Amino acid sequence: MGIRVLIADDHSLTLEAVKEALRDTGAINVVAEASSGRQALALAGRSRPDVALLDMHMPGEIDGLTCAERIKKQLPETRVVVISAFNDDASVRMAMRRGADAFISKAVDPRDIGPMLRATVQCTVFHAPVEGMEPNGEGATEGLTERELAVLKAVSGGLPNKTISQQLWISEHTVKFHLTNIFRKTGAVNRTEAAHWAHQRGFVSDVALPDGGLAPDGNRAPV
C-alpha cells in the first residue's frame, strides 16, 4: 500500500498543495487530513499512519508541537514530521525536542516533500531543508546540518547541482538553498572556498574544484 500519511494544517490552501504534491509521488497515500491538532490526534489513533505531517503553528489548545508530542507517545511507530514557515534553529530544535523525527520548511520545493517523507520513514533524513538534524536533536558538526554536509561533500567532489540533486533526491532549487546556507555558515563566497573549508576541517580528503568555483545558481563566481 506504500507509505500511509496523515496531513494536518489549519490553512486549507497549504493542505491542498501538500496533497497535490504527494499525489505525484509514487507509493505515498494520504489516509487522513486534519485542520487542527485535536482532530489530527483523533485521526492518527484511527488511521495509524506511517507518517504524520503536522503544521507547527496550528491554533488551539493542541498546537502542532503538542500534537507531535502526543502522537509519539500514543503511536511510537509513527514517524512525525513537523512543517513550518519558520526554519530558524530555535524552531527546529524545539520541534525535535517535542517529538518530531524530521522538520521541513515550507520554503522547500513541494516536489521534495514526498522524497523527504520516504527518507524519514527509512531513517535516512532527520531535518529539511535546513535538514539533516542528528537523532539526538542537535545540529551536525560545525553548525552544518547532515544534509548540508552531504551537499558540501558532493560540491567538494566537483559535482554540479543537477548531479547532486539526483543523488540526494532533492530538486536543484533545494541544492541552491543548501549552498546558500553553507556559504553563510562557513563564510565562503563560492564553492571553491566552501570546499577548502571542508578539507581543512577533515570533512573531505581532497578537493576536486578548480579555483573560482560556482555560485549557488551554478554560475561562475569570483574567488
CATH 3.40.50.2300 fits 3-121, yes or no: yes
pLDDT tens column, 121-137: 876 444 444 443 333 33
CA distance 181 to 175: 10
Q: Which residues pair with 83 in a beta bridge?
A: 55, 104
Confidence of residue 141 (pLDDT cuts 50, 70, 90): low
Terminal C-alpha separation, the chain: 51
How high is the pLDDT of residue 82? 92
**Quick one: cell of 10?**
489549519
Which residue ranges make up each domain of the chain? 3-121, 141-200
Burial status of residue 29 (CB atoms within 10 A of its CB: 0-12, 13-18, 19 or more): middle
**pLDDT tens by residue, 37-51:** 999 999 999 999 999
Residue 197 has pLDDT above 50, yes or no: yes
Angle at 110 between CA 71 and CA 98, to 5 degrees: 25
Confidence of residue 71 (pLDDT cuts 50, 70, 90): very high
CATH level 2 (architecture), domain 141-200: Orthogonal Bundle (1.10)
